[in-house]
Structure 1
Amino acid sequence: MNVSCYERSLNILKEAVVLPVRFPELFAGRNAWRGILLFGPSGAGKTKLVNDSIALTQNSAAVIRAHGNDLVPSNCVRNGCNPESAVVDIFNEVKKTLPKPVILFIDDFECLLNESEKISPEACRRITTELLVQIDDCDKQPGVSVIVAATSKPWDICCPVRKRFDRLVYVTLPDQQTRFAIIKHEFTNFQHNLTDEFFEYLASVTERFSCSDLVMLARDACWNSVRKLQNSSQVQNLMKQDEKMQMNLKNTTGNPSHNQEGRKDSLYQMLNEQSVLKCDVDDALLNMKKSVDDEEIAKFESFNENYGQD
């Protein structure tokens, strides 16, 4: 799948993640990027970009994954708790892996640093301080270690933490060309009679849709076609016959009859042969709502203008 509008972001990740890991000799006497922060709307494809770049390393590095929420102990509001313990543990895992190349990916990074019912102000301060210490300590270790973080709320990340990342990369919503590629790719998973011309139309009317929105659109269209089949008289009869057979089996022993297996095979065949039609997609589109509003996009663009380094 060609994700043209992500090529810039992917190239930055190649430079920061892939090249130092696969060709460390290129960076002899040079400082490779040690930290990349990807920011953008939820569902814009940040995690996919990271996964694609990791795949390009061809298993040349250990990969450690974490979620911001997972690094905050659930009891860290209690007195006597060590709220920074999970942060220490995961960075110790990184250091144990060195000097072998290692990539640490933290998704939903802002969850680690935000005050909430789960994180008291004091716990938040201690976690932030420990995170800064651990990042600095990793920089002093021999070998290649790259920290990649993704967030949908970059404005919640304080300046000292933000400055620990060499590059702040804005992952935008897909443009029309990319939406076309995503939509066409998603419909390859289903039987359909849709044309490229129709996919181009869908790409033109889904402006400000995220990657996740487009995936959901394809799934909803598929389910619309399945619902029509489910309500057909032929399928209803097959399902009733199968229910009767199940009731009979409760009072007998042995394997299901050949007739029952034949009915199931017929049902599966009809499901596999059911095509997604334009009307199924149109109905799904009517019920879809874009998950990112204009106000949020303006906020991301303002942040990128002030802090983005892509």
Structure 2
Amino acid sequence: MNALEYFNSHLKYERNPKIREAITQKFTEYLRRAEEIRAVLDEGIVVPAASGSYARVAARSKAKPKDGEGDFEGLHYAIVQEKPNVKWSDVAELESAKQALQEAHIMPVRFPHFFIGKRQPWRTFLLYGPPGAGKSYLAKAVATEAYSTFFSVSSSDIVSTRGHESDKLVSNLFRMARESKPSVIFIDEIECLSAPRGESNGVEAARCVITGILSQMKAAGTHDGKVLVLAAPHTPYSIDQDIRRRFDKCIYIPLLDSNARKHIFKVHLGDTPNNLTESEFESLARKTEGFSGSDIDVCVKDVLFEPIRKTQDAMFFVKTNEGLWVPCGPKEPGAVQTTMQELAAQGLAEKISPSPITRTDFDKVLARQKPTVSKSDIEVHERFTKEFGEEG
């Protein structure tokens, strides 16, 4: 299932149709194998969950299925259920979007007595913007702040199944959300459920599914403001206008500005030892103009391994006052010519410590990394905002 998660992530950003088809075939094949193995495990073998992993609804329910749901078990892989831990402060900028989502879900959950009479919260949002801009990250932050269960499903998973199973998946998704409220439902690639009029490939099947989703979205507004539906398209113009109008708000999630990029660098670096100054963080923010939040995440993950790479390649180490062995240059006072492998062979593996992350580490990684969002992608989303949306 972990391997399938990598396949699914790749599919979100792969634009070559042939490659997408090849990956989808492999995904389907491995999914079938995984479900077969899971069926064997469910016969009584207990397997401990991986530490830190989130709950996946693919786990077989011990409860008796409702009528008509017996053949639905195999589709549970498409829904991810978790209790996220993304703090509101982790989300940089996007003040308008954050305020709207606070009014829609956080306030109704924490202060339900505020919403009386005609004052009812927003229930459905279309969050659009360049890939990696932070739409799902924002959705998880809302769920965290409102102590809600987070449900995530990709529309491409829904439409890839047989029609009757897709209907059941949609029904089961919203049923679980109601039973677990307060809850947030995040539907990725919502445009996969619709196509502009005139296109016929898969439209009828997709419309059957979207009818169910729209019906469930309308019903979500009757659950005390405790079921929030968020949808995110990759290409907003692909969404049918009838579907677009069903959303209470369409909010543009743009690329990060300089201050936000600096903030994201700090968030992803966390408490990892480093010697970067405030001015160096500002310099990194300027140097990554056009980078999405996802791009910065990838950059920092790569940088985190630079000290380990330098430790592996080091030919000299110095012993600190704390008794740790740190890689150094040959002219460093107290430098000893040795390698990581030799120190480990002496039983000092736990005493070897990578050096703190430096600005040089970031420069090395950024020299080979480029932004994944093109100017044309941004122009499309900005044009859509002028016509139908509002700034986040």
TM-score, structure 1 normalization = 0.79
CA distance in 2, matches of 1:124, 1:132: 12
Question: Which residue identity lines up with residue 296 of structure 1 in the other structure?
Answer: D
Is 1:90 aligned to 2:90, yes or no?
Answer: no
Distance in 2, Cα, partners of 1:205 & 1:143: 46
- The answer as to whether partners of 1:113 and 1:127 remain within 8 angstroms in 2 is no
Deviations 1:52-110 (A, max 9, x none): 222221x3x5543333234335345xxxx55422112222334555xx54432223333
Q: Distance in 2 between matches of 1:171 and 1:32?
A: 21
1:277 aligns with 2:358: yes
SS of equivalent to 1:86: helix
Structure (1 or 2) with the greater helix fraction: 1
CA–CA distance in structure 2, aligned partners of residues 4 and 92 of structure 1: 33
- Cα RMSD for the two superposed structures: 2.6
Per the alignment, do residues 309 and 279 of structure 1 end up closer, same or farther by CA in structure 2, a change over 3 Å counting? Answer: closer
2:348 maps to 1:263: yes
Q: Is the 8 A contact 2:256 2:292 kept in 1?
A: yes
**Larger relative contact order, structure 1 or 2 (CA cutoff 8 Å, min sep 6):** 1
1 CA distance for matches of 2:178 and 2:260?
A: 38
For residues 270 and 172 of structure 2, the distance between their equivalents in structure 1, rounded to whole angstroms, comes to: 42
Gaps of 5+ in 2: 1-88, 317-326, 328-337
Offset at 1:305? 0.8
Shift of 1:281: 1.4
C-alpha distance in 1, partners of 2:282/2:179? 50
Q: What does residue range 104-123 of structure 1 map to in structure 2 within 5 Å? A: 104-113=185-194, 120-123=202-205
In the alignment, is the contact (CA less than 8 A) between 2:128 and 2:252 conserved in 1? Answer: yes
Which position in structure 1 is the counterpart of 2:67? Answer: none
Cα shift at 1:2 = 6.6
1:297 partnered with 2:378: yes
**2:186/2:231 contact within 8 Å kept:** yes
Other-structure match for 1:8: 96
**Offset, 1:183:** 1.6
Checking the alignment, whether the CA contact within 8 Å between 2:134 and 2:253 is kept in structure 1 is: yes
- Pairing 1:66-215 to 2, within 5 Å after superposition: 66-76=153-163, 81-96=164-179, 101-113=182-194, 120-139=202-221, 141-144=222-225, 145-215=227-297
- 1:14 is aligned with what amino acid? Q
Deviation sequence 1:102-138 (CA, Å, 0-9, x none): 43222333344469xxx83331121122222322343
Judging changes above 3 Å, is the alpha-carbon distance between structure 1 residues 191 and 114 closer, same or farther for their aligned structure 2 residues?
farther
Give the CA deviation at 1:169: 0.7
Is it true that 1:32 corresponds to 2:115 in the alignment?
A: no
Deviation at 1:12, TM superposition (A): 1.1
Match of 1:52 in 2: 141
Paired residue for 1:239, among 317, 341, 344? 341
Contact 1:2–1:178 at 8 Å: present in 2 too? no
Q: Pick closer, same or farther for the CA change 1:230–1:111 going to 2, 3 Å.
A: farther
- Normalising by structure 2, we get a TM-score of 0.64
Do the aligned partners of residues 95 and 182 (structure 1) sit closer, same or farther apart at CA in structure 2, a change above 3 Å counting? closer
Amino acid at match of 1:239: Q
Question: Which SS does the other structure have where 2:353 is aligned?
Answer: helix
